[in-house]
């Protein structure tokens, strides 16, 4: 049995420094507040990050044409990702309705425009650093503590893990299909699982 305590301390320490995930109810609360306040670009950053678990480098350069009519979003692979095909993530109707509402509020003009354009003007999109700066501000504003793009990946991953019964099978699914980690060790460290949580996953196998 693989326990979290069996994983290299350096890996655990590295991931522990990253921002934590948040409760799904809090995620939804912030999403509704951003949309209601007509902060549509920030809302899109929140929605897409939390509903796809893409790495920020894979979605910061999305254009409106990358959001398909069949409730899907095509991943933009970063230059540092090798040997992996871009994923297509399917978005629920509720989330897609929010996305379309944001699009109508932003009025991009053409589907070739970047979704996350810089507020300073021009045609460039924000950088991953800029995205983290925005999310950090949202976290402080809504009393969520330290929030970054990793928070959104962790939030969806934990939501799916919980919904699938917190089983070892669920952990494998999250590791391979949601986070696209090459090792389940990485997922255990990334999500901050304790030994008790890992043991519970094995106990739920049958």
Q: Could you state, in order of their start, the residue ranges of all structural domains in the chain?
A: 4-18+153-203, 24-146
CB 188 within 8 A of CB 168: no
Q: What is the pTM of this model?
A: 0.79
Please state the φ and ψ torsions of residue 45, each to the nearest 5 degrees.
-60, -40
Residue 11 has pLDDT above 50, yes or no: no
Residue 110 has pLDDT above 60, yes or no: yes
**H or E element at residue 90:** strand 88-90
Work out the widest C-alpha separation in the chain, in whole angstroms.
56
CATH topology for the 24-146 domain: hpI Integrase; Chain A (1.10.443)
- Name, of 82-86, 113-117, 134-138, the range with top average pLDDT: 134-138
Name the percent of the chain lying above pLDDT 70. 74
Query: Token pair for residue 200?
Result: 């519970």
Higher pLDDT, 75 or 3: 75
C-alpha 201/C-alpha 2 separation (Å) is 11
Give the pLDDT of residue 2: 47
The arithmetic mean of pLDDT across residues 99-127, rounded, is 87
Bridge partner residues of 63 (DSSP): 114
Computed over every residue of the chain, the mean pLDDT equals 80
Alpha helix ranges (H) inside the chain: 9-16, 24-36, 40-52, 56-59, 93-106, 128-141, 149-163, 168-173, 184-191, 195-203
Give the pLDDT of residue 13: 46
Rounded to 10°, the helix 9-16/184-191 angle is: 50
pLDDT in tens, 169-189: 888 999 988 898 888 888 888
CA angle 82, 84, 88 (to 5 degrees): 135
C-alpha 4/C-alpha 133 separation (Å) is 31
**How buried is 83 (Cβ within 10 angstroms: 0-12 exposed, 13-18 middle, 19+ buried)?**
exposed
Query: Which phi-psi region, left, alpha or beta, contains residue 53 (left: φ > 0; alpha: ψ -120 to 50)?
Result: left
The arithmetic mean of pLDDT across residues 64-74, rounded, is 67
Fill in the DSSP letter of residue 127.
P
């Amino acid at each position: 049995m693989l326990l979290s305590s069996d994983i290299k301390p350096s890996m655990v320490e590295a991931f522990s420094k990253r921002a934590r995930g948040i409760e799904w109810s809090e995620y939804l609360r912030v999403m509704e507040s951003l949309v209601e306040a007509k902060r549509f670009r920030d809302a899109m950053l929140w929605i897409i990050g939390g509903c796809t678990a893409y790495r920020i480098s894979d979605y910061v350069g999305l254009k409106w044409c990358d959001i398909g009519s069949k409730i899907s979003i095509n991943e933009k692979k970063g230059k540092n990702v090798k040997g992996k095909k871009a994923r297509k993530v399917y978005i629920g109707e509720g989330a897609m309705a929010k996305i379309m509402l944001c699009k109508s509020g932003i009025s991009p003009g053409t589907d070739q425009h970047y979704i996350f354009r810089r507020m300073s003007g021009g045609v460039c999109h924000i950088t991953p650093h800029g995205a983290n700066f925005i999310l950090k501000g949202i976290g402080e504003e809504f009393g969520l503590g330290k929030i970054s793009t990793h928070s959104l990946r962790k939030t969806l991953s934990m939501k799916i893990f919980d919904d699938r019964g917190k089983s070892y099978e669920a952990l494998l699914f999250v590791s391979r299909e949601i986070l696209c980690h090459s090792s389940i060790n990485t997922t255990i460290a990334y999500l901050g699982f304790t030994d008790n949580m890992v043991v519970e996953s094995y106990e739920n196998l049958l």
